[in-house]
Amino acid sequence: MKGRDVYVIGAGMSSFGEHWDSSLRELIVDAAIKAIADSKIEGKQLQAVYGGCMASGLFAGQEHVGALIADYLGLNPLPSTRLEAACASGSVAMRNGIMAIASGFYDVVAVGGVEKMTDVSTEMASTTLGGAGDEEWELFNGATFPALYALMARRHMLEYGTTEEQMAMVAVKNHANAAKNRYAQFQKEITIDTVMKSQYVASPLKLFDCSPLTDGAAAVILASGDVAKKICEKPIKLIASSQASDSLALANRASFSSLRATQIAAKEAFTQAGIKSKDVDVAELHDCFTIAELMAMEDLGFCEKGKSGKMVEAGQTKIGSDIPINTSGGLKGCGHPVGATGVKQIVEIAWQLRGEATGRQVKNAEIGLTHNVGGSGATAVVHLLKKDF
């Protein structure tokens, strides 16, 4: 990675779920205070804040979230900026925090992500989320996100013989991992039958193939190498940060069964870090729908194109296997508060690399990957992190 070394020195998150008794600001303050306490720095040592949030205006009637975060954390007059890239907002905030430190502009910054999605009706939430696709060509014609990913699933099934059962296995694994994560929205294991007998949302995707609507926040503290090495016992080094874009509308893509933005971001991330996909010990992938996890496995190089269904079927992505995927429960089991997800993925990987993922710890994890997608693939962000103690 170019520039100065950047480390995660603190991590924290709110619990994910339906929070009737917490507001948007309470969620982000909860996560940020935990991350600051974890880092052992004091709030006054922070030099800037970067916050990911997709649609607080439509979900909660609140814009200007950057200023809100600084205000309610008592950090005024610190520069505090909101970043938006749909469901990849958190990862884009992360990249901005990384670049601020790598460039030498700041030494210690906070990065957060937040979304409060459950105060509106499901119809309103679907319409709001649909705005992350092409409003004129997709949403206006009724193509919500489950519908767009259903088209990708159909194409993957046609091209590679992927089955609904294989997609169900992704959900079963991620719910099992979530049941071991006290911050997760879903705390119960499910069976393939649970998924297969659930109602179709957009065929072939059923209720249990979908990530839920979620309230939640996550935060990390980033520091330069000098600061991290002085104050942090378990620093986690960022070894790659990459982002790529593609057409907003699915119809303009060359392929429906892979995400080009993921492939490009992955290639760049592995080049930056000088490693290969086989060197990754634990990964948090963007499983907004079960088919998304399967496509990401292929696009990131964890298996050959078309082989992800078989790999999940063989249990090769469970904790204890070669490449445990979505140990937090992923978006499917842990929940998907859209603006928070990218930062939560970093929190989970930091915990894994520090050996603190109680109940779901991957043995001897040294290198972790996060993969976060905005829209149906118009933005993709990949981060690589390494244990450095």
Give the pair of three-digit tokens for residue 57.
């205006």
Rounded Cα gap, residues 309 and 52, in angstroms: 32
* HEC string for the chain: CCCCCEEEEEEEECCCECCCCCCHHHHHHHHHHHHHHHHCCCHHHCCEEEEECCCHHHHHCCCCHHHHHHHHCCCCCCCEEEECECECHHHHHHHHHHHHHHCCCCCEEEEEEEEECCCCCHHHHHHHHHCCCCCCCCHHHCCCHHHHHHHHHHHHHHHHCCCHHHHHHHHHHHHHHHCCCCCCCCCCCCCHHHHHCCCEEECCEEHHHECCCCEEEEEEEEEEHHHHHHHCCCCEEEEEEEEEECCCCHHHCCCCCCCHHHHHHHHHHHHHHCCCHHHCCEEECCCCEHHHHHHHHHHCCCCCCCCHHHHHHCCCCCCCCCCCECCCCHHHHCCCCCCCHHHHHHHHHHHHHHCCCCCCCCCCCCEEEEEEEECCCCEEEEEEEEECC
Among 47, 81, 126, 255, binds ligand COA (CB under 6 A): 126
Catalytic residue, candidates 53, 87, 210, 334: 87
Select 103 or 203, whichever has its Cβ closest to ligand COA.
203
| CB of 382 vs ligand COA, minimal distance in Å | 17
| CB of 243 vs ligand COA, minimal distance in Å | 17
Catalytic residue, candidates 156, 175, 336, 383: 336
271 lines the binding site for ligand COA (CB under 6 A) = no
Rounded Cα gap, residues 49 and 93, in angstroms: 9
**Active-site residue 210, yes or no?**
no
| CB of 18 vs ligand COA, minimal distance in Å | 8
211 lines the binding site for ligand COA (CB under 6 A) = yes
90 lines the binding site for ligand COA (CB under 6 A) = no
Give the pair of three-digit tokens for residue 200.
């179709």
Among 54, 100, 114, 213, binds ligand COA (CB under 6 A): 213
Residues 310-339, interacting with ligand COA (CB under 6 A):
336
231 lines the binding site for ligand COA (CB under 6 A) = no
Among 28, 54, 73, 87, binds ligand COA (CB under 6 A): 87
Of the candidate spans 44-52, 58-66, 207-215, 232-240, the one that interacts with ligand COA by CB under 6 A turns out to be 207-215
Of the candidate spans 31-39, 200-208, 312-320, 346-354, the one that interacts with ligand COA by CB under 6 A turns out to be 200-208
Of the candidate spans 157-165, 205-213, 234-242, 301-309, the one that interacts with ligand COA by CB under 6 A turns out to be 205-213
**Active-site residue 87, yes or no?**
yes
196 lines the binding site for ligand COA (CB under 6 A) = no
Select 32 or 248, whichever has its Cβ closest to ligand COA.
248
- Size of the residue set binding ligand COA (CB under 6 A): 15
List the beta bridge partners of residue 341.
none
Among 7, 16, 59, 145, binds ligand COA (CB under 6 A): 145
Of the candidate spans 72-80, 121-129, 247-255, 307-315, the one that interacts with ligand COA by CB under 6 A turns out to be 121-129
Among 103, 122, 163, 271, binds ligand COA (CB under 6 A): 122
Select 80 or 118, whichever has its Cβ closest to ligand COA.
118
Binding residues (CB under 6 A) for ligand COA: these are 87, 122, 126, 129, 145-146, 201, 207-208, 210-213, 288, 336
Catalytically active residues, by annotation? 87, 336
